[in-house]
Structure 1
Amino acid sequence: MWAESVQLDLAAGANPSDLATLLRERLSGLPGFRHLALGANLPGSWGASDCTLDLIFDQNPGHTLAERLAHVPGAARLERHAYRRIGGGLRDPQLTGGIWRTLLLHVKADAAPDQREALERDLLRMPAYMQGIRNWQLSEVIGDSRWTYVWQQEFAGLPDLQGEYLAHPYHWGWVDRWFDPEFPEWLVDSIAHAFCPFDSSLLSLAQRSAPRCAQ
C-alpha cells in the first residue's frame, strides 16, 4: 500500500470542499486509488498549511500522481510526505465526525538508531495512558521530505486533543524530553502540528488494508 500525508495551501478564494471534489475527480481514475480526504486545518495548528490532504493507494502511483496533482485550480502549494507504517492501533474503527491530528517530526541528523527506537516506543505508548486517542498510527517518512516521522491520531472531539492529550502528565513528564532542547535526550528539532475535522476513520481503512505500508 502507498500512503501520503500532504500539507496544502489554498489559492486565494478557494473552497476546501470544492477542491476535494476536484482532486477526487483527478485521482479516482489512477490504478489502485483507495481514499482521499481533505480537511481545513483548525485554529491552533502551527507550522502547517491551510489544509491536510491524505491519500491512499494500493501501490505506488509513481510520477502519474505528481502529474495529476500539478496545477490544480485552488491549490497554491502542496508538500507531500509518503510514509511507511511503524505501528498503531484502533479503539474505535467506526469513528465518524471526529478530529484528525497530524504531527510531522524531524529528528536531529546525528540521532542514533537506538534513540529513534526509544522515541518510537514512547510515542506508541501514549494511547495506553490517554483513552481519548481513539485510533493512532506512527510512520516513517520515506522519499524526498524534510520530515522524519508522521504521528497521526483520531479523536472524537477537540477536548480530547486540546485537553487530555496536550495536557497529560505522560506527555509532559515523559515524551516531552525528546522535544525539549533543555533535556539531554533532546532528539526532535522541528515539528508541524495540524488538526482538522474528518468524516470517517482514515486509520481504520489503512490498518485493515495493510499491516505495514511499503515503499
Structure 2
Amino acid sequence: MTRWVALLPTEAAEAYGTAATVPGVSVSTAGPDLPGGLSGTGATWDLTSDRSPAEIAAVAGLPEPLDTVALVPVRSRTAALSGPRVKRTLLLAVRPGTPDGLVALLERDLLAMPGHIPTIRSWALSHVDQALTPSRWTHVWEQEYADVEGLTGEYLGHPYHWTCVDRWFDGEVPGAGIVEPRPAHVFRWSDGPVLTSG
C-alpha cells in the first residue's frame, strides 16, 4: 500500500468520496480547501491504495487529479483526536543541488515542531517518491488539528516557526533559504483521521 496526496479542482471534492469503495483502497478522503491556503487547486484528496490515484479515478469514473505525489514516510506520529479535524498539507520543493546535510537540518527542524507547538496532533513528514510520481515537489509535511485556529494561530504564529523553520523558506537568508518559492499550503476539514499508523 502507498499513501498518496492529490490536488483536485474544488468541484471534484465531493465526487471523490466514491473512491473509497474501489477495490484496493484502504483510505480515501477528500474535501475542499479552506480559505487562506497557498498554491492549491481547490481541493485535496488523501488516499492509501495499492493503485495510483489516476487508476482509482479511472475506475470510479472521476476526472484525473491535477497534481499527485506518492509518499515515502520519513517519520510520523498518530495522536488521539475524536470527531472532525483540520488536515493540513504542505508540499515543498528543496532547491536542486542542495547538500544532503542542509536537507537533513530542514527535516530536523520540521520534525521538532510538534514538540514546541501543542496544537499539532497527528503529523507525518514524507519524501516524494520520484519513481512513482516524478514531481517538482520533494517533501510533504502534514498535520491534523482540532480546529482551524490551531493551524492559523498557534502553528503559523509560533516563535519556533518563525525562528527555526521559516528561515529555510526565505531565499534571502544566507545558507538557509533552500526551499523553492511558492510551496503549496492547503488545509481542509475531514470527518475522521487521515494520518493513521496503519
TM-score by length of 1: 0.83
Give runs of aligned pairs for residues 154-169 of structure 1, distance below 5 A: 154-169=144-159
Cα RMSD of the aligned pairs, angstroms, is 1.9
Distance, in Å, in 1 between the alignment partners of 2:150 and 2:66 is 29
Question: Of the candidates 175, 178, 189, which is equivalent to residue 187 of structure 1?
Answer: 178
Q: Tell me the CA shift for residue 39 of structure 1.
A: 1.1
Q: Partner of 2:29 in structure 1?
A: 37
Query: CA, structure 1 residues 61+68, in 2 after alignment: closer, same or farther (shift >3 Å)?
Result: closer
| Residue-pair matches, total | 193
Whether 1:119 aligns to 2:106 is yes
> Contact 1:9 / 1:75 at 8 angstroms: preserved in 2?
no
Instruction: Render the CA deviation track for 1:45-64: whole Å, top value 9, x for unaligned.
Output: 1101111001102xx426xx
Q: Partner of 1:212 in structure 2?
A: none
> 1:114 is paired with a residue of what secondary structure?
helix
Query: CA, structure 1 residues 98+110, in 2 after alignment: closer, same or farther (shift >3 Å)?
Result: same
TM-score by length of 2: 0.90
> Contact 2:17 / 2:30 at 8 angstroms: preserved in 1?
no
> 2:141 is paired with a residue of what secondary structure?
strand
Q: Partner of 1:81 in structure 2?
A: 69
Query: CA, structure 1 residues 69+15, in 2 after alignment: closer, same or farther (shift >3 Å)?
Result: closer
Question: Of the candidates 146, 166, 189, which is equivalent to residue 197 of structure 1?
Answer: 189
Segments of structure 2 that go 5 or more residues without pairing to the other structure are none
Q: Tell me the CA shift for residue 108 of structure 1.
A: 0.3
Question: Of the candidates 121, 128, 134, which is equivalent to residue 134 of structure 1?
Answer: 121
Q: Tell me the CA shift for residue 76 of structure 1.
A: 6.9
Segments of structure 1 that go 5 or more residues without pairing to the other structure are 210-215
Aligned partner letter, 1:54: D
Give runs of aligned pairs for residues 88-127 of structure 1, distance below 5 A: 88-92=76-80, 94-127=81-114
- % identical aligned pairs: 35
Q: Tell me the CA shift for residue 165 of structure 1.
A: 0.3
Instruction: Render the CA deviation track for 1:84-103: whole Å, top value 9, x for unaligned.
Output: 110121332x4321100000
Instruction: Render the CA deviation track for 1:122-159: whole Å, top value 9, x for unaligned.
Output: 00000100000011100000121110000000000011
